[in-house]
Amino acid sequence: MDSEGFQFPTAIAFVPDPGPEAKDPLYFVTELRGQVRVVINDRSVMTFADNFFSLRTKRVVPEIEEEAGLGGICLAPQHGYVFVTFSYHDSGNVLRNNIVRFQTSPQKFSVAPTARMDFMEIFDTYRAAPSHQIGACSVEGEQLYVSVGDGAQTAQSQSLDSALGKILRMTLDGKPVVKNPFFKNMTLTIFETIYGHAD
């Protein structure tokens, strides 16, 4: 059964128009500790991606210190992109945020990625924190929206120079969106922050 066997699932993304074959993807699920699973039309559950980031844990969920890892997933069907958001430990054992874009077959997707792109440089100067990490994402047209927690640093939410405590808007390649209302005011060159209505 495709409703069983998941370990700490955090997000789900349905393929809008699944292919007709038994092995075509139906939906994707993220698991907190680092696996992205895919459920295919015959309701089998397969591993789409794993071991693509490092997370050093000491306790077990539901300890609040362990509420870190894969947070969100969203799809760009026209391109076959699967975006996942997560926190990870860098080489200095500091918890950071990141986004990975997996490439699959346009429209119908596939059970394994053919390529990947990391958006690490957007976040590599900011600390994340358990329960205050990167979270949900959404694709609207050719733009990616991502919610990012404050990293347990509440003052960062008020600063336009910080990626923390924001909803970020970027292209599907992780580049700036010129129409963003704060584009000219930002010192950050990789992404833009949006508040309220955006053109």
State pLDDT tens for residues 160-184. 888 899 999 999 999 888 887 766 5
| Domain tally, the chain | 1
In percent, how much of the chain has pLDDT > 70? 86
Q: Give CA–CA dist 98/103, Å, rounded.
A: 16
188 found inside a domain? yes
Distance (Å, whole) CA 16 – CA 27: 9
Answer yes or no: is 1 within a domain: no
Q: Positive or negative CA dihedral for 7, 114, 97, 184? A: negative
Task: Please tell me the pTM assigned to this model.
Answer: 0.88
CATH code for the domain of 66:
2.120.10.30
Of 39, 116, 104, nearest to 75 by C-alpha is 104
- Asked whether residue 107 is domain-assigned, the answer is yes
Q: Does 2 have pLDDT greater than 90?
A: no
Whole domain around residue 174: which residue ranges? 9-194
Note whether residue 2 is domain-resident: no
Phi-psi region of 141 (alpha: psi -120 to 50; beta: other; left: phi over 0): left
Q: Which residues have C-beta within 8 Å of that of residue 62, sequence separation ≥ 6?
A: none
The pLDDT tens digits for 41-77 are 999 999 999 999 998 776 665 656 678 899 999 999 9
- Classify residue 4: in a domain, yes or no: no
User: pLDDT at residue 91 above 70?
Assistant: yes
Determine the pLDDT at residue 160: 80
**121-151: pLDDT as tens digits:** 889 899 999 999 999 999 999 999 999 999 9
Q: According to the model, what pLDDT value does residue 187 have? A: 38
The answer as to whether 110 is a domain residue is yes
